[in-house]
Structure 1
């Protein structure tokens, strides 16, 4: 058998119409369907599809480990970030816009005094992208400046006149830098080592233009930037009072005094222009106080990171005016923004944004996942999808209303999920080998099974819903017979033959066969009813497949870049009309190819936004949209197919 080299990693055999593809040096022989052999020119470069993707909606918010990242703009939009996207969301009109200039995790945000310009900082990006800060116009979304930093910026603040930008990075030096961002390419006018300990906040004084305050672990520091652009530091003096483990947040009252909150739940007032305590309000919160906000009318609002309480004080912090507590399942309070009238927006430690007021309470405007996210399945006929993550949450989303229909704690860390083809049940595979069947309307648990003790990696129903196949991390595929409208499951057997964990599987259109990919890049075929491996892969070359989620097949040769590691592509899916294929990879990219992608050299359109490995991509049933999940970035993104 002679193979003709086509690329560095593909060789073609004309005799039997097969392609040998190498992944990490391992050869994989893939057989062309009979009707494609005569027309196959493997040296030809396949063009990208005519269709493109446009980011329509981003579900989620990053409140778990970031601060001061929620603001209201004059446009009526709240601005915040998740993954590598800064979101501008008009809650009343239910529309989003997105700033997508970043290449990796956005970690901090600041709004210019004119309320039009925004600065956002990211960590080091994929490839050669260095950590940097981007300054941009929130109306036009055009980038005004890109400021290269030593480490990823963790906090930002504009000066009162907006001409300068202070930033603290996460380098070993924890450098405090002051930028004249409006000069060409941005000029760092001052830089100094900020603290040996973690820094969580930086604020330019709103009235004293050369004063900057920073705080964090074991400290609060008051900085003066003199006329020769040298920074001088005075540490806050706690005198006989107990020094808090963390000074967690900063604000300013209308007199120009500095307000600080700390990990002991206290609020301290520091006299304007001094480093000494003017007033101490003890025990405002049980546990850390994560945010402070001075309202336009002068009242001070505090948010508790542990107790979930929002407390409003009068201007002098002499007495609480009102307080409320948010529901515990939303998490603690991470950020508060003043809305219109008496309205407030609250960002939480469980990646939710709530809206409401102190009298009527708060309801969710944004819900999200809070731990690694792998499970995604779209409804077979409705514009809905479900997600399931390591945070034990199963969430049903309406893609047209851009909202959560319901959210359920399933008490298991989920790795994958599937919808039956009738739409009557949702199945969730867990990290423990357990898998659960739910009614999508009542949320009732209908069935509970266990196969092995390793994670269930993938689940697929046969076209007629008579069988379900589950691929496990233990190298086996478990096959069940399905009865009683997907409520009863009886195990037929398990498929043994893979030498590594199962990653993806598909059913044939007639429901007789399964194909599967594994962690060592195998493509194997199985007789579903006997659970036996099909010994001759070439005999399966003309099989029609009901789904196409296996990335290692002849029809998806072209989705693999040269020299790819076989784990680079986490997810692959064909559109229902068989015209497109979308992939999610380890580099935060969603890619769109024409289908079939049988040419080893296939061009595509690629899209950033996710800041972590893209764990799953799926088309909605009408192929109008693609939904993608980002593993560690916990976000869900919805793309219009244009």
Structure 2
């Protein structure tokens, strides 16, 4: 949706197939009856007349071959329309004496491939950001859009420039925020160094766990980045890198170590103080889906894509991991594991939605009836009597992906494959429980209580 002072335009998708996808649109800042939209091989100029919208077919005509996509849009102080495209060109559309917007300038190959962002400064300097070449360039609009001979090259880790926003619009200080293709935000100017305001993951994020005591949590993703965060300041404490994509994580009960599982079956252990490497273990050839330390920290359970649970003894303050045994019985990959309070038993769930129980001392499966009075240190398994109420009876397509119980055992929270977040009182053993629900994401969601 885009807005002007008098109009609002909503995207209303057509039921018919169309190859003219719209990627950007904006009302003209100086002429409220003009709307500009652009996308696949086109830029269209629209005019409002008696509350009806008409396309001005005289405007937006390319003199040469049309770009595959027009990717961004900006306006100059004189009312020119500026566009960047997927070929790396910047085009300037100027209104002639017939009030038609015609192509006046074109900066050929300003960037390598797509120009993702354009922003006009108060002094007439046009900034452009490249998505592939990671360059921030400046152009002098007062002298025919020649290069201002100013350039900033962003590091590969930061990613390409996706958007540019001025910190103080109307000011001459030139301070800006840069959003990148790898989900980072950086602050700076053409005259000063750019620094990170915040950093984020750029690929799927499946690994998250909360510190057992402090306001701290860890995240790790398929982008091979591991971040430790503070919840009170919303700041990153440290960042580490893994050799392979990360799939799960867990804090040691002491809070001093973090175990990270990867997609290649390798377990890495880091210090939670500074992210330094402590140990590595090749658990399996298949992806590790879940890792859980026993309540006293003396054992580590590792659930893998190969349908097995590997039990390790933790020795020498977490520097050595000795395989104690393997638990087999699930028909599909192991997805959730919980330890009992005394560290003698496990409960686990697989992708086949089966709930199994295990004796760690015997390294064997236990019957559910014999463990009915066992108390569990955590409740992350999505099946069980105490969480039966999280499964909706009126939606056969809903699939719960995650669940967590608060530390006071008074609340439970679940997330499903559609991004729905639901809060329950705990235990929630009845299907009649009415949760507080919120649409948090667009797809799979993980859950964890901070305190």
TM-score (norm 1): 0.65
1:597 paired to 2:421:
no
Aligned counterparts of 2:16 and 2:412: Cα–Cα separation in 1: 46
SS of the residue 1:619 aligns to: coil
Change (3 A) 1:522 1:295: same
Aligned counterparts of 1:439 and 1:170: Cα–Cα separation in 2: 50
1:261 is matched with 84
Q: Select between 560-569 and 485-494 the one with higher mean Cα deviation.
A: 560-569
1:229 is matched with 52
1:485 paired to 2:317:
yes
Which of 316, 319, 323 in structure 1 is aligned with 2:151?
Answer: 323
Aligned pairs for 1:339-354 within 5 A: 339-340=167-168, 341-354=173-186
C-alpha deviation, 1:228, in angstroms: 6.3
Aligned counterparts of 1:618 and 1:609: Cα–Cα separation in 2: 14
* Equivalent pair of 1:521/1:566 in contact (CA under 8 Å): no
Aligned pairs for 1:195-274 within 5 A: 196-227=19-50, 229-234=52-57, 236-239=60-63, 241-272=64-95, 273-274=99-100
1:437 paired to 2:289:
no
Aligned counterparts of 2:420 and 2:46: Cα–Cα separation in 1: 41
C-alpha deviation, 1:334, in angstroms: 0.9
SS of the residue 1:371 aligns to: coil
* Equivalent pair of 1:166/1:204 in contact (CA under 8 Å): no
SS of the residue 2:141 aligns to: coil
**Residues 204-224 of structure 1 deviation map (CA, whole Å, 9 limit, x = unaligned):** 222233322222222222333
Change (3 A) 1:497 1:230: closer
Change (3 A) 1:319 1:475: closer
1:313 paired to 2:158:
no
Which of 291, 305, 314 in structure 1 is aligned with 2:117?
Answer: 291
* Equivalent pair of 2:69/2:85 in contact (CA under 8 Å): yes
Aligned counterparts of 1:359 and 1:473: Cα–Cα separation in 2: 51
1:466 is matched with 298
1:545 paired to 2:376:
yes
C-alpha deviation, 1:574, in angstroms: 1.4
* Equivalent pair of 2:44/2:55 in contact (CA under 8 Å): no
The number of equivalent residue pairs is 441
Aligned counterparts of 2:15 and 2:71: Cα–Cα separation in 1: 20
Q: CA RMSD in A?
A: 2.2
Unaligned runs of 5+ in 2: none
* Equivalent pair of 1:303/1:311 in contact (CA under 8 Å): yes
1:617 paired to 2:447:
yes
SS of the residue 1:551 aligns to: coil
2:345 is matched with 513
SS of the residue 1:485 aligns to: helix
Aligned counterparts of 2:395 and 2:316: Cα–Cα separation in 1: 44
Aligned counterparts of 2:231 and 2:53: Cα–Cα separation in 1: 52
Which of 187, 202, 205 in structure 2 is aligned with 1:373?
Answer: 205
1:337 is matched with 165
* Equivalent pair of 1:420/1:465 in contact (CA under 8 Å): yes
1:532 paired to 2:364:
yes
* Equivalent pair of 1:168/1:199 in contact (CA under 8 Å): no
Change (3 A) 1:573 1:440: same
**Residues 267-318 of structure 1 deviation map (CA, whole Å, 9 limit, x = unaligned):** 2211113343212223322222111111233321111111211122233223
C-alpha deviation, 1:400, in angstroms: 0.8
1:583 paired to 2:414:
yes
1:164 is matched with 7
Aligned counterparts of 2:291 and 2:395: Cα–Cα separation in 1: 26
Q: Select between 213-222 and 303-312 the one with higher mean Cα deviation.
A: 213-222
Unaligned runs of 5+ in 1: 1-155, 175-194, 624-642
* Equivalent pair of 2:6/2:32 in contact (CA under 8 Å): no
Aligned counterparts of 2:285 and 2:194: Cα–Cα separation in 1: 41
* Equivalent pair of 2:46/2:53 in contact (CA under 8 Å): no
**Residues 381-436 of structure 1 deviation map (CA, whole Å, 9 limit, x = unaligned):** 11100111222221111111101122333132222111111112211112222222
